[in-house]
Every structure is written in C-alpha cells, then in structure tokens.
Structure 1
Amino acid sequence: MRLLLPLIFLFIPIMIVANSQLSDKYDVSKEEITADGKNATTLIFTAKDASNQPIRNLNVRFKRSHEADTRLSAVTEHKRVTITPHIDGQAVERVAAETVTFKVACVDFDESSFSASSSILFTDGQDKVTLAFTAKDSHNQPVRGLVISFNKEKNRPSGSSTILSDITETDGVYRATLTATTKGSKEATSELVDFRLMIDGKPAGVVNGVLLIAPKYYFTVSKDSIAPNYEDESTLTFTAIDGGNQPLHGLAVSFKRDDEEGTILSPIIEKNGVYSATLKGFSAKKVTIEPCIGGQPVAGITEKTVTLSWQ
C-alpha cells in the first residue's frame, strides 16, 4: 500500500531586476510530518533583489532528493527527503536545501481495537465473519500504511478449512473476510479458532471466540427401486441446515448420476433448505446418485442407488 504525502508548495513570485544581487530565503513550515496522507508541510521560497524588493514571475519549483519517497508504503524507520528550490531548472546556490522527515505514527493499542464481527461462523462456505483492526495513534487519529496480517493460530487437527480474504484498509481500519467449509463428517461439530494480529511481521494481539460450526446435511431417496416405464419415479431429497438448525437457502445443489443414459431428472426445487428432484427412467439399470454443492461432492454424505427394474 502506498500513501500520498501532501506537500504544499508555497511560491512567492517576484519580478527579476536586471543586474541586481538576489537576497533569497527558503524555509519549511514543518521539518517533520507524519506519513498519514493528511499532514503537510509548506515550502516557502522568498526571492528578493539587492534592494530587498520582491522579484516576481520566476519559474520556481522544488526539487526533491527522493521524489518517489513522498509516496510511501509502510515504513518503520524515518525517511529524510531533501528539497532544493530551482529557478529555470537550475538549483539556487544562494540558499541551503531544507530537509523534511516523514515518519509513520506509532500505534497506540489503548486507542486501537481488534475484533470479529461475529463469534460464530457456520462452515457452509457462505457465512462470513469480518476481522477488523482499527489502528489509532495516541491522539486517537487513524494510522494508515501498516503491513498487517491476521494469522490463524495452530490448533488441533481441524475438520474445517478456513479462507481469509486479502486485507483492505480504509481510514486506518484494516479488514478481511473469513469463510469456512467442512472437510469431514455431516454431523454438526464445532471448534474455536484464534487469529493473531501481526504488524510488520511481529505479534501484536489475539482475537478469540470465532466458533466454527459445521452445517448438517441429509440425503434420502423415496424409492430405491422403480419401474423403467417413464411414469414411476423416486424423489431425491437433500436437506441442508446450519449449526443453529436454520435452513440453508440458495445452495448450488445438484444430483450427480453415474449413468445418465436412459434416465430423466427433473429440475431441482428448494423450499426451506430442502432441495428435491424426481428421477424417472426407461432403461433397466442401476443408477448411483451423489449430491453436490457447487459441483463438488458433499463431505460425509453417502451416495444412494436407485434400481430401474420390471421386477
């Protein structure tokens, strides 16, 4: 992340007097500013002739020793930039260059906070928890440009897989979104995970209490044997509820058949977390059916077999 540090260039334009000796002055209003994208220093170059009269219409600009360094990524050490006034592209030798120091404000942890938007996350791949670190200095002002990470603590072997988005920063608030999916059993299990706040690769705090709860899935068929007459049918039912026993809506559920030839599957209908479709056929065979979410088999769910037979 790079921060644009504002430099306010204040020019005092004055007319050149022929064959005169210049009496110039160069100042900066602040020799040190915080690299927060808001603080600024004013550069003042005053040009006068030998009679102490102002010289107008000079082509004045300020040349920095490190121009790129006024757009700063996060830094931990002070950075010094030397700024020299120029007239018509030539350095003004009669005045000394001024130096401005940019530094990153220190985080005051008494003013800052690290939290989770919820203490519970359902591992259905859709539920989300936002981790947020609000960085402030001792004056309760936001601190920008920090190198932040949220590291998951090493716990016992987990039945869930967590995904943390990239961290974004707005006005000193660093956020990332956490989602999780279940690796194993269909039974509702829970585990507590901790995320450690890291600043510049160093531990800075821990947020506790994000409880991962696995959803519960059930799969049934109304008949395990049907006649291949295009009229008899078996209803496939997939039920999805979260760890709080609430229905999971809007899942991309599908029923995968190992042999689709000679079978017809109706469109899937969802109501209150129950996803259902009917299977018919006109060829004698056995069809193995596996429910999927987002095209992936559902962990812990046993596939079912429907036999199409005249017996």
Structure 2
Amino acid sequence: MRYFWKLALILLPVLMLGLAGCGSSSSGNADPFNSGGTVGGATTGTPPFSLTLIPGKSSAFANEQMIVTASLKDASSNPVANQTVNFSITAGPATVVTTSAKTDSNGIALAFIRTTATAVTTNVIVQGASAVINNSVTGYGNFQVSPADANLNSTRLSLSMTSLTVSPNQDQVVVATAKDGSNNPIANLPVAFRVTAGQASMEIANSVTDSNGQATSIVKAGNSTVVSNVIVEATATVGGAQVVANIPFQVVPTTTSTVSYTMTMAPSKQVVDNNEEFYVTVLLKDSGAKPVGGETVTFSVASGEAAIITPTAVTDSVGKGIARVRALNPASTSAVILQATATIDGTVVTAVAPVQITTQPFSASIIKMTLASDKQTVGISGDVILTATVTDMQSPPKPVQNNPVTFSVVGGSATIRDPSGIVQETLTVNTDSIGNAVCRLRSDAAPTSSSIIVKSTTTVNDKEVTAYHTIDIIRQNSYVINFLTLAPTTDPNGNLNTLSGTIAADALGATFKQLVPFQVLDNNGIPLPRLDVYLGISNTGRNPDTRIELVPPLPGDPVVYSVPADYQKKIKVTTDDHGMGIFTCNVSLGAPGPGLTNTESVIYQATATTADGVQLLSYGGFNVTITQAKAP
C-alpha cells in the first residue's frame, strides 16, 4: 500500500498537466480530462461552445502575478464576444484578482492571478465559466507554483490598479511595487511603463520607486466602442537583469447612456510642504463640453502620503467640485497621486492629478494661520462668522497685528459679504491686536447637502501663508412651523390625535378643549422669536351642529367657526423668545343619540411671513369623538 501512494504522488502532476486548455459544453458535467466529452454516461460529441484557458506561465513562484487568457468560441471556432467569464481557483495556492471579465471581439477575456505561499511545488487549476445562450461553458487551465527562492528571484515587481474595468477615455493609476527576495521594498529603482496590448496610452511612462518600493504611473483608456482588453507592462533593471510585470484591465463602453463625460482635476499647488493643506478642483463636462452639475464626485489618494479631508463633493452649475487635502509627513520628497471618481448613468468617470510633497515642515515658515467658524453646519441662506488667526511662532509666540488677510470661497455654494452685506469675490481684512481677522459668509442654495471650503491668505515677511476651513450645508426644504402635539401630523394609524369621551343618555352634547403648542424655525433649525403667526380652521364637511373656537393668549380675542363663511377668520399668536406659540382649540359636538357615536375632524392652518419675506404655511389637526350612552 505504501508503494501505491508513492506511485500516485508521482503520477498526479502528470495528470494535472493535462488540464491546460480544456473546455466543455452544458450537456452534462464537464470532464476536465476529456475536452470533447462528458461524464455520467453522456455521449461524446462537439459541444456548441468551448472555453480555453491558457496561463501566461507553466510555472511560477509563490507570491507572483500572472495573466490567464480565456478564449470563448462556438462550434465553428468563431469567437463569441461580449460574454461574461467568471474565474475561480479550484485547486492550488493562488487567488484570482479578476473574478469576472467580458470577452472582446476576439472572444478573449483576461484574468489576473496571484499565487500564494507554498512549501512544495504544487499544481494550480484555474476555472473559467460562462453562460452562452442557456449553455453553461466551463474551461480549465493549470500551472505549477514553487516556493520562492531568493537566489533565483532576488527582485520581484508586482502591479496593481484602482480598477480593472474602466469606461472609455478614463485615466487609471498603475502602481508598481518592487521588493527583494526577503520581501523588503526597494527604493530609488527606475521603472518603465508601456501598453503592450489594447487601446490605451501611458500618460506617465517612467517613474522611480519611493521608500515603500512603489512607482506610480497613469494610463489613459482609449475611446473604444466595444469591450477591449488592455495590458500594461512595467520593467525594471536590477543587476543588469530585467524584471517584468504585467497587469490587464478592460475598457467597457456603457450601455445605459449614449452621452460620454470627461473630468479634469487640478491641485491648488503642485509642490506642498509636509502637513500642509491644499485643495483640488475637478471640472465635469459632457461630450459637448457642457458643464455637468449636481453629480457626486468621490476623492481618494491613489498613491503617496496624503489624507482627504472632504472625501466627496457635488458639482455646481459650472461642473466644478472641490476637495480639501492634507499632505502627510513623508520620509523623503515624494509624489502623491490623487484620484476623483463619479458614476453618471452607468458611466464611471475618473480624473487624476499628481502633487509633490517636500520634507520641509509646514511650521518652517514661522508664521502660522488658523481659520475657524462660529458654526460647523449651516442651512440655506445662513450666515457664518469666519475668524482667521495669524501668529508668529518664534519664542514666545505672539499675534501678528494689523496685517491684511484675504478671504475667499474656493468650493461650495456660498458668498463672502462685507460689513454692509454686499457680496465680494474676495474680502481683505486687517488683523486686530490679538491677530484675528473676521469676515461674514452666507450660504447659497445648494442642490443637495454639501460642503463649503473657505480660504484665507496672508503674507508676512514675503512669506505667503494659507489656511482652509470646511462648513457643511445642511439642506432643508423650507422654513417650518411645527405643531408640537402628542402625535405627528402624519400619524401612522391615520387618526392623528384623538379626543374621545362618553356622555349621558340625556346629554345635549359635549365640548373638548385642546391646547396646541407650536414652534417656528428657520431653515437652519433656529427658532424665530417675536414672529406673528395667523391661525384659522381649514376644512369643510363638518356636522351642522359642530362649533369650533380658536382662543389665542390674552389679550387676543377668540374666533368662533360655525358656518363655512367663518373660514376667513383668523387669530394671531406672536412667538415668544424661544420661537414658541400656543393657542386653545375648543370643539363642541351635539349629542349623536342614545347608543350612537359622533366624530368630527379639525384641520387648522398656520401662516407667517418672516422678516426676510419668506412665507410659511403649515397644517395640523386632530379628531374628536363622543359616544352617547343608551337610554335606561
């Protein structure tokens, strides 16, 4: 028995090698060792479709990358295009980075495979599966993985991308990572990038690895009208020998939109000190160069040491979106690549921008400026007080007095106002005795909740110092009058507040008294004091014997509603210092009759006009029910 197992272990690799290029049809369970047949007793024959998988190498080391080519054809060996192929590892130490891809016009889909650690040479089986016209098509490919050998593989180059599927004309960030045989990063290594297949072009063809062993490049997808495969190659030379890595991605045209889009991104500074803040601006346009507003753009750091302070922005009417970024503290001067992404009607639109970070500390300027606001959130047409503080950091720190500070809005819907309330594109204010300069900002209408980015700039001893601050716009539909009754005005049980009672068999009716408090808020959620609110009854169809009376606080006069002509009557309630008001609603119902019930609904209307001319309208109400006891 021991010799049988030894023989099996010897023959297993030989059998496994027979898997490369196998395919099957849907007419039975696929037999990976018989490319034209099935298992389970089915007859052999030519399947309607075949899927062939060919790995880029027959043998690889652990922790290595590889491209696997899948070829989908019909029974006449014609390529089958635009079909999704799902990839998986059915055996062996490897993982698939590309879990699915579409076939191009040549029937080709590319998978990106990464091998994992192994103690002994082991076979890996890669599976591809597709569904074509109700046919399940499966194919297999195999290769061997051996333990990494530092002597044979002293330098390794691996590639990664932000996405393995992009829309036409979009930029992609490609990062090459160089490591030695002990898995340590290799710095200052020149890396050359090129497109070896497909419709794309390199916008950065050469780069140098940083302290993390990473070199970054940008590839631009071509304007393909069909699914197109692209392969990017990175090459480095170590000790006279070339080290090569490849990565595939697909250019996939959108099928849900006939409009294409472009987005560009530019930083406020090309070179920044460590820990310094700056901002990036994107411009989003359609294929006719028209601005695209109201779209959410997501910002991220594709490569390098930086932090995104405002990760999203909504493009304005000119297609502009802005995000704040802070450079971190790199060990050496390094490059940062920032990426912006938006998805519009199924089209993924991207843009990238490089920035260089120096090792000079931001505090080296000696002059420090901070920018703060009296509130972190604001509604539409809300005012914010901005305070810029300029300090000389030389020991001991002291305020910089009588120095001009210029304020401006660099992102979001807002305007700078001078002391008289006039809109200014920029406003310059001198610092006071404690180094503060103050100005007023007013938020404008925004399509959605968004952020305002404000910039302050000053120059001291020929050194320009800049600070940024972010304020969030919390959008509300309008000003509001809230009735503070026990149940909301859209009570889920459909009854709102209900007042009910039982009267004696000989009673003539009953009167219910309801205290109704309310509060008036502006669109920032701030109470509006000393505001006149007018209230009246606003529903018809009441019982003829119903009598409604609205009673304001003294010295106001009550109003009685008994006929439809009374609807024009109003009471006035002035809100207090907390924006609160209150009134009484008295409802008198006639007796329904012994053993019967009488129900009435009351709808009251509140209107007001703010000092800014904003007109408010709100409704509230409740139900009243009396039941009369049966006669003895």
TM-score, structure 1 normalization: 0.31
Greater RCO, 1 or 2 (C-alpha within 8 Å, sep 6+): 1
Structure with greater Cα Rg: 2
Higher percent of residues as strand: 2
